[in-house]
Structure 1
Amino acid sequence: MDHLHHTYKIGTVELAHPFLMAPLAGITDSTFRLLCSRQGAAMTYSEMISAKGLVYGDRGSAELLRMEPGEGLCSCQLFGSEEEFIRKAVQKLSERERDFLTGVPGAPLGHSLIDINMGCPVPKVVKGGEGSALMKDPWLAADLVRAAVRAEAEEAEEQERLPRPVTVKCRIGWDEPVRETVLEFAPRMQEAGAAAIGVHGRTREQFYSGKSDWELVARVKERITVPLIGSGDLFTAKDAVEHLQAGHCDMVMFARGALGNPWIFRQALDLWEGRPQYEPTGEERRAMMLEHLELAIACKGERRAVREMRKNWGWYMKGLPGAAQLRRRVCEEESAAGLRNLLETIDFT
Structure 2
Amino acid sequence: MKIGNIDIKGQVFLAPMAGITNEAFRIICHELGAGLVYAEMVSDKAILQRNERTLQMIKVNKLEHPISMQIFGTDVETFVEAAKYVDQNSDCDIIDINMGCPAPKIAIKSQAGSFLLKHPQRVYEVVKAVVENVRKPVTVKIRIGWDEENINCVEIAKYCEQAGAKAIAVHARTRNQFYSGKSDWSWIKKVKKNVSIPVIGNGDVFSCEDAKRMLDETGCDAVMLARGAQGNPWIFKQIQHFLDTGEKIEQPSLDEWQSIIFRHAELLLNLKGERVAASEMRKNLAFYFKGKPEATSYKTRATQINTIFELKTLVNEYIDYYNNYNNNFVK
1:245-293 CA-to-partner distances (Å, cap 9, x unmatched) read 3343111111111111111111111111115322211111111111111
Residue 173 of structure 1: aligned partner: 145
Structure 2 residue 102 is matched with structure 1 residue 114? no
Structure 2 residue 154 is matched with structure 1 residue 144? no
Structure 2 residue 39 is matched with structure 1 residue 46? yes
Tell me the TM-score normalised to structure 1 length: 0.89
Count residues with an aligned counterpart: 319
Q: Secondary structure at the match of 1:273?
A: helix
Residue 326 of structure 2: aligned partner: none
Structure 2 residue 194 is matched with structure 1 residue 201? no
Q: Secondary structure at the match of 2:69?
A: strand
Q: Is the Cα–Cα contact under 8 Å of residues 185 and 218 in structure 2 kept in the other structure? A: no
Q: 1:343 aligns with which of 315, 326, 331?
A: 315
Whole-angstrom CA distance in 2 between matches of 1:12 and 1:94:
15
1:41-90 CA-to-partner distances (Å, cap 9, x unmatched) read 11101100101110110112112112223112000100011111111112
Whole-angstrom CA distance in 1 between matches of 2:130 and 2:118:
20
Task: State the shift of 1:333 in Å.
Answer: 2.1
Task: State the shift of 1:141 in Å.
Answer: 1.2
Whole-angstrom CA distance in 2 between matches of 1:93 and 1:216:
31
Task: State the shift of 1:220 in Å.
Answer: 1.0
Whole-angstrom CA distance in 2 between matches of 1:177 and 1:113:
32
Identity of aligned residues (%): 39
Structure 2 residue 214 is matched with structure 1 residue 243? yes
Residue 123 of structure 1: aligned partner: 104
Structure 2 residue 50 is matched with structure 1 residue 57? yes
Q: Secondary structure at the match of 1:199?
A: strand
Name structure 2 gaps, 5 residues minimum. Answer: 323-328
Name segments (4+ residues, structure 1) moved above 4 Å.
Answer: none
Q: 1:305 aligns with which of 260, 273, 277?
A: 277
Q: 2:267 aligns with which of 295, 303, 322?
A: 295
Structure 2 residue 249 is matched with structure 1 residue 256? no
Whole-angstrom CA distance in 2 between matches of 1:268 and 1:130:
33
Whole-angstrom CA distance in 1 between matches of 2:222 and 2:114:
21
Q: Secondary structure at the match of 1:230?
A: strand
Whole-angstrom CA distance in 2 between matches of 1:171 and 1:231:
9
Q: Is the Cα–Cα contact under 8 Å of residues 21 and 253 in structure 1 kept in the other structure? A: yes
Q: Is the Cα–Cα contact under 8 Å of residues 165 and 195 in structure 1 kept in the other structure? A: yes
Whole-angstrom CA distance in 2 between matches of 1:247 and 1:94:
32
Q: Secondary structure at the match of 2:236?
A: helix
Whole-angstrom CA distance in 2 between matches of 1:24 and 1:316:
17
Q: Secondary structure at the match of 1:66?
A: coil
Tell me the TM-score normalised to structure 2 length: 0.94
Residue 187 of structure 2: aligned partner: 216
Structure 2 residue 245 is matched with structure 1 residue 274? yes
Task: State the shift of 1:208 in Å.
Answer: 0.4
Q: Which piece of structure 1 moves more, 86-95 or 129-138?
A: 86-95
Q: Secondary structure at the match of 2:20?
A: coil
Q: Which piece of structure 1 moves more, 245-254 or 40-49?
A: 245-254
